[in-house]
Every structure is written in C-alpha cells, then in structure tokens.
Amino acid sequence: MISLPSRTLGRILTPPSLVGFMVSLAEAPKGGKILEPAAAHAPFLRAFREAHGSGYRFHALEVDPLAFDPPPWAEAHLADFLLWEPNETFHLILGNPPYGALGAGVRLDPERRRLYRRRFTTWHGRYNLYGAFLEKGVRLLKPGGVLLYVVPAGWMVLEEFQKLRTFLAREGALEVFYLGRAFPGLKVRATVLRFRKGGKGLRLYEAQALREGDPPRLLLETPYWQGEMVRFPHEEAMALEREGIPLEEAFRIHFAARSPEVRAHPLTRPHPGPGLVPVLTGRNLLPGEVDYETPHSGLYFPKEAAYLLKPFYIIPHLVVGSTRHYRVVAAWDGRAYPWREEFHLLPKEGVRLDPEALVAYLNDPQIQAYYRGLYREVVPHLTRPMLERLPLPKELVSVR
C-alpha cells in the first residue's frame, strides 16, 4: 500500500504486472508460512497461490478494517504490523508496505511514535514507515527466509536510511531491482528488494524495461557490501572521483537557517525597509549567479546582521542547491546575504581556489552527467553525502 499525497487512508494498488514480477522472485518450501503485511485484499498472496498452488500456510495482516478483505484460505490478522508480536516466524514475507516521511506525509500520535522508536534499531531522524516495515519483516523471517517488498528508491542514498542499510547488510544478502517510475500517476521512483536472511552481499539490477518484457539486467555485484550508499555504476563518473579531490576535503559544508528559525528571529521583517535585504531562497540561486533582488521568501533582514542567523553568512562563499531536481546548481555569494535554504560551503584553512572557475565547473554538463549517472532519479534532491563525494579537479582546488 502506498499512502496518498493527501494523507488520507486511500490506497494505490500495485500494478498486476509488478505483483507478477515479484511473485516470480518469491520462494518458499511446500507447507511453508507466507505473510503479506499491509495486505488490504491480499493481491500478493492471491497471485502467489495462483502461481505456486495452495500447499502453503498463508497469513494476511492489515491495520485498517475498512480496507481488509483477505481471501478465505488465509489466516487473517487485524493488527498494526509494526507492533504485532506473533509467536512464529515466516519462510516468505512479501508485499507493498505503506510509506510516508513522519512529520510530512504521515502523522503519528506521540505515544505511537515513542513505541516505534523503542522497537526499531534502524529508526533515525524523520524516518519513513517503509524502513520500519523492512526491519520488522527481516526480524520475522526464518533463517534462509525471503522478504520481497516494493518500496521507494530513496533508501539507497538518504542519510536517514544509513542504519537500515547497515542492518540489511549485517542480516543477509540483498538484491535490488531498480524500477524507475513503476506506479502510474506517481513521481516516486521504486525498487523491488529481494532479501534473504543469512549470507552476504549486494546485487543491483536494472529493471525499468520490465513493462516492455525485457528481463532485469545485472549492473553491480559486491560481496562485501556493508551498508554504503547504493550507487549506479558509471565509468565516467567513477573516473572523475579517482582523479579529483572529494569536495569534503576542501570545504566545510553548512546548511542554511531553517524557515522557523528565520521567521522567529526578532530582526526579521515582512516588508522592505532601510538596511533590509531579502532573505534568499533556492529560487534566488541560479547557475553561476545569485538573484539578490527578488524577494521570493517574502522576508527581509538587516544585511549587516546576517551573521546573527548563521555566522558564516558574513563571509562570501559558495552556495550549492539542495532541491534542484536532479541537477547541480552553484553560485558564489559575493555579497554575503542572509539565506533560508541550500548548502553553504566555506573553504577549509589552507585551501586555494578560483571561485569563478569552480562555479563554472560545478554547473558544467560534465558534473550533471556525473550526478545523474551515479544517482539516476533515486531522489530529486542533492544530499550532503552526495555533495561530500563530488570530485573537484586538482587544477581548480589546491589543498595544503
């Protein structure tokens, strides 16, 4: 089940072709126990039984009684999967768990949030429900058991999933099938995860052409994966990393003051006035230049007091966009304005650079190809770990 953007209990069904693909990857011994969490009408159990027969013990679990319509041959459990404590484990767990970032797409009462935090070792930051569903599913597998979920691709690179990736690497072997936009009408990029409890290693497959009937194509295999970001192999991008300097070696990376922080400051004003300048946002950041005039934020702040929001605002520095939809956008803020968004980079001690040449390089098509080659469209924004690894040419940056 995928949660709707409207934050309702509405559901978007998994396309039958995707259900069929996942069932083709599923396995369980005859008489084995099979579970579909967040089951609703249990499309995965129905498809598995049709493909493999009835000689299994089927279990369907759902928290929403209005959505629950299990088949008569499955044992039904009306419960919150994340709080459910069965006295058994399973040979196969498969399905499409709910997702939503807590505090954004999903609202939880404080007590339930506390219960979840206490139960899940992978819980971190603004966690996403599908991360908890993954941890719970792995814990309910028998040794050698298989888990098959379709989930958004963000877990591959986002910082809040680092603990989850480490957990998966420690608990077993993982196969990842990258689907791209697999759900009609939704922008989310999806992956199918096939996890086997026990064993080691990671395999990454290209599976965007499943709709055209093409089989998955192996892109990457590493037996020593320990939970690092899952990136796509891209020869030119990796060559840039081998030859260049990681950005984190040359710059201290900061993030701008958040909107609540800016709005709450006693010097912030909603109208222009003497000594006030617009508080800049990502819309003021253009490739190679900063628009200092347009008040996109609707807020104003004394320019000479910008350091009171963030101390580094007072120093001319590099600004790199964080939410520019699969692009790297950079400019040099030579006027040292107050900002409400984006990454702000200050050279470390002993670093020499040419700001104009560096900005041109970061906006160059070569860097756009690097970014999209390694990360595709897994998430629409540049994350801090991605930025830290971005390679800088040695002829543009000197680190002593």
| pLDDT number for residue 1 | 41
Asked whether the beta carbons of 90 and 58 are under 8 A apart, the reply is no
Same domain, 272 and 191: no
Q: Which pTM value belongs to this model?
A: 0.91
Q: Return the pLDDT at 103.
A: 44
284 is catalytic: no
- Per the residue annotation, which of 70, 97, 338, 391 is the catalytic one? 97
* 13: number of Cβ within 10 Å: 14
Longest dimension (CA), the chain: 79
CA distances from 365 to 132, 332, 360, 373 (A): 38, 18, 10, 12
201 and 319 part of one domain: no
- Confidence at residue 193, expressed as pLDDT on a 0 to 100 scale: 98
CA–CA separation, 374 and 326 (whole Å): 11
At 101 the pLDDT is 57
**Residues 261 and 245 reside in one and the same domain:** yes
- Separation between Cα atoms, residue 345 and residue 355, nearest integer Å: 12
251 flagged as catalytic: no
Q: Are residues 25 and 152 in the same domain?
A: yes
Domain boundary among 179, 206, 230: 230
Residue 10: the pLDDT is: 35
Phi, psi (rounded to 5 degrees) for 239: -65, -40
Pick the catalytic residue from 133, 183, 205, 337.
183
pLDDT at residue 2, as a whole number: 38
Same domain, 195 and 60: yes
Same domain, 82 and 168: yes
Q: Active site residue: 56, 58, 81, 99, which one?
A: 99
Same structural domain, 244 and 142: no
User: What is the Cα–Cα distance from 154 to 315, expressed in whole angstroms?
Assistant: 34
pLDDT at 213: 84
Catalytic residue among 58, 96, 177, 251: 96
What's residue 325's pLDDT?
Answer: 79
> What averages of pLDDT result for each successive group of 10 residues across the chain (400 residues)?
37 86 97 97 98 97 94 97 95 92 56 83 87 96 98 95 97 97 89 97 95 92 97 96 96 95 97 96 96 97 96 96 89 96 95 95 96 93 95 90
CATH number at residue 58: 3.40.50.150
Domain that holds residue 109: 2-230
Our answer to whether residue 99 is catalytic in this structure is yes
Same domain membership, residue 115 and residue 216: yes
Question: What whole-number distance in Å separates Cα of residue 227 and Cα of residue 230?
Answer: 8
What is the pLDDT, as a whole number, of residue 117?
83
Among residues 181, 199, 230, which one ends one of the domains?
A: 230
What digits encode the pLDDT tens for the residues 123-152?
887 788 899 999 999 999 999 999 999 999
Token code pair at residue 380: 């629409």
> Are 248 and 224 part of one and the same domain?
no
Task: Compute the half-sphere exposure of residue 55: CA atoms within 13 Å on the CB side of its CA.
Answer: 7
Q: Supply φ then ψ for residue 235, to 5 degrees.
A: -60, -45
pLDDT of residue 11: 55
Task: Give the number of domains in the chain.
Answer: 2
* CA-atom Rg of the chain in angstroms: 24
